[in-house]
Structure 1
Amino acid sequence: FIYNLGAANQGPERWVKAIEAFEREDAEDKSLTGGVMFLGSSSIRMWRSLAEDFPRQKVCNRGFGGSTIPDSLHFFDRIVLPRRPNTIVLYAGDNDVAAGHGADQVYGNYLAFVDRVKKSLPKTKLVFIAIKPSLKRWELAPVMKQANRKVRRHAFWHRGVLYADIWTPMLGSNRKPRKELFIEDGLHLSPAGYEIWKDVLAPLLD
């Protein structure tokens, strides 16, 4: 596996305050185990309507903005294991590609994460949300698509791992990202963007 923290994200230590906040929350309520954990970067952190969007699920938001797959792996024991979720929904890879990671490196880090889940939480289902197309990072689309294809192929052949294709419905008739799905920065999702994610994920979580 290619487990590379990379200099571009300055190491996972920059997330310590966010991780400590999660740990305090876990310590305050020991009953918050099981359910669905949404884990990953700012697209998860900024998903304010998670509980409303998935009313049939006990959801937990563990997004820390700007994070990569190796960051989620680095803090796995601190923020994932205490909750012992039934399902992990992971969105990561976007910042990895933006930091210069190639498709093989992203895929290798994804495999390392899958391996960690299987060894620590063998009954937990993993849903990987495809790296999203965005206006701001559209020039990186070829690498993102290649990484997505690798993950999709792996998920197809491995039980307990699912691939959520949000890439396709986020493209317009011109095969480019739909502007209305993003806020002003052209990177993060608008409510309409999250609506698409909800529609793709809902059947995978039931």
Structure 2
Amino acid sequence: MKSCYLAIVVALCSTQLGIGSDFKLPATDENVPGQGTLRRHGWFQNLWEKRRSAWAKQVQQDQGALVFLGDSITQGWGGNLSKSFPEVKVANRGISGDTTRGVLLRLEEDVIKLNPSGVVILIGTNDLEEGDSADSVAGNLKLIISQLKKHNSKMPILLCQVMPSSATKRRPAGRIREINQKCFAVVRGDPQITVLDTWTLFADTKGDAKKMEFPDLLHPNKAGYNKWAAALRPLLATHGFLEKVVPTFEKEDGFEMLFNGKDLTGWGFRDRKTLKPSKTFDGMKSSHDDRYVAINGRLVVTTPPEGRRIQQLWTTREFPEDFILKLEFRATPNADSGVFIRKPQLQCRDYSLAGPWKSLPNYKPQDWNELVVQVQGGIAHCTCNGDILNSEFKVPATGPIGLEGDRGQMEYRHIRMKTLK
């Protein structure tokens, strides 16, 4: 009798902890949400049960974590995930070999029950290997996003594009582009979702993965993970996960700050043709549409949810005298922005991917770079980390300083000017 009672208790405890049969894959696709492939290879079923059973024991421990959701690329980050983001409580919910349909099936137990503070998604490459259509992948993603939004309509969701691979891995560049395009169409215009261009970040000139970052043309190595982490950090900072303290900065003698680091005082919108002021943001932390936001010492030009949207923020003052303008900027992969000097635009982008200066020796992708513009006699001399961008940039006799928003996220800080007399 005692042994029978003990067996019942063990069975009940196992059920409550999510151990064993609770995490077995359904035998058929009947009543399984979504479409496309749900893998059932023996090795995958074993891994699926093992990882999900272990996670079931950590539900309380992982409450409120930033969840990384995906397949082997996410799983492969392993313990280094927390080392990549030591300031953040993270939970790795990647399962090697998983598909969008598999993620959809396990979303409630593995992610939503954690009440995550945010979710980083990378999924879809295995659907491609199985021959599933881009429409199938996008349809499943739509259901995944819908469930996450239903759980928390304010939680940030970062969607990473499917990374490049190779036709030799049954993942040709054209098909990956198609999946990324279809998936972007699903989330286009949704301000809760930020899309990170991890395809352009890693693709070579043919659209395939580079062996120096993906030795097997599918999974990133340490260099690849470091690059992915660096690309995520600016977005995580914007969403309040990182860089919560304003770094100490002392301006050089003779310089005045054009951005106070706290709000948009001294900045506003102007008519694009006449440059006449149309709206000012003195005392406000953001523009009325939240495209330009002051966050912990940074003036952030946020990622437009529709992919591209050209906007311009200008100083309310104009500058007729010769000057030296200094600022630091940081760009997400392939981001496109610009700095207006009295009106003409100097391209300020993720130069290594977006150009026009793709081979600057001192440019630091997804890190802070210094832009220096010296204007004398109507000619601007422009450098990035000491590398010359343009030594004969013609500018008008007077005008404001402006920051353009176009594609991706751009951040500016320590914007300061010294008048030359």
- What TM-score bracket applies, with the shorter chain setting the length? 0.7 to 0.9
After TM superposition, give the deviation of residue 166 of structure 1 in Å. 0.9
Deviations 1:83-120 (CA, angstroms, capped at 9, x unpaired): 11111111110001111111111111110111111112
- What does residue 102 of structure 2 align with? 71
TM-score (norm 1): 0.87
- What does residue 200 of structure 2 align with? 168
Query: Does the Cα contact within 8 Å between 1:132 and 1:166 map onto a contact in 2?
Result: yes
- What does residue 164 of structure 2 align with? 133
- Matched ranges for 1:15-164 at <5 A: 15-26=48-59, 30-48=60-78, 49-135=80-166, 136-137=168-169, 139-164=171-196
After TM superposition, give the deviation of residue 47 of structure 1 in Å. 0.4
Partners of 1:80 and 1:198 lie apart in 2 by 21
After TM superposition, give the deviation of residue 59 of structure 1 in Å. 0.9
Partners of 1:6 and 1:46 lie apart in 2 by 22
Q: CA RMSD in A?
A: 2.1
Amino acid at match of 2:92: N
Partners of 2:169 and 2:236 lie apart in 1 by 29
Partners of 1:5 and 1:101 lie apart in 2 by 6
Query: Does the Cα contact within 8 Å between 1:151 and 1:163 map onto a contact in 2?
Result: no
- What does residue 228 of structure 2 align with? 197
After TM superposition, give the deviation of residue 200 of structure 1 in Å. 1.6
- What does residue 211 of structure 2 align with? 179
SS at match of 2:176: helix
Amino acid at match of 2:131: G
After TM superposition, give the deviation of residue 146 of structure 1 in Å. 1.0
After TM superposition, give the deviation of residue 31 of structure 1 in Å. 4.3
Partners of 1:160 and 1:100 lie apart in 2 by 30
Query: Does the Cα contact within 8 Å between 1:181 and 1:189 map onto a contact in 2?
Result: yes
After TM superposition, give the deviation of residue 175 of structure 1 in Å. 4.4
Partners of 2:92 and 2:194 lie apart in 1 by 19
Amino acid at match of 1:63: G
Higher relative contact order (CA 8 A, sep 6+): 1
Tell me which structure has the larger Cα radius of gyration. Answer: 2
Runs (5+) with no aligned partner, structure 2: 1-32, 238-421
Runs (5+) with no aligned partner, structure 1: none
SS at match of 1:107: helix
Deviations 1:137-183 (CA, angstroms, capped at 9, x unpaired): 37522121111112234434002111111111212345432110113
| Count of residue correspondences | 199
Query: Does the Cα contact within 8 Å between 1:98 and 1:140 map onto a contact in 2?
Result: no
Give the number of the structure whose residues are more often strand, by fraction: 2
Query: Does the Cα contact within 8 Å between 1:3 and 1:108 map onto a contact in 2?
Result: yes
Identity of aligned residues (%): 28
SS at match of 2:158: strand
Give the number of the structure whose residues are more often helix, by fraction: 1
Amino acid at match of 1:109: N
Closer/same/farther in 2, CA of residues 117 and 34 from structure 1, 3 Å limit? same
After TM superposition, give the deviation of residue 75 of structure 1 in Å. 0.9
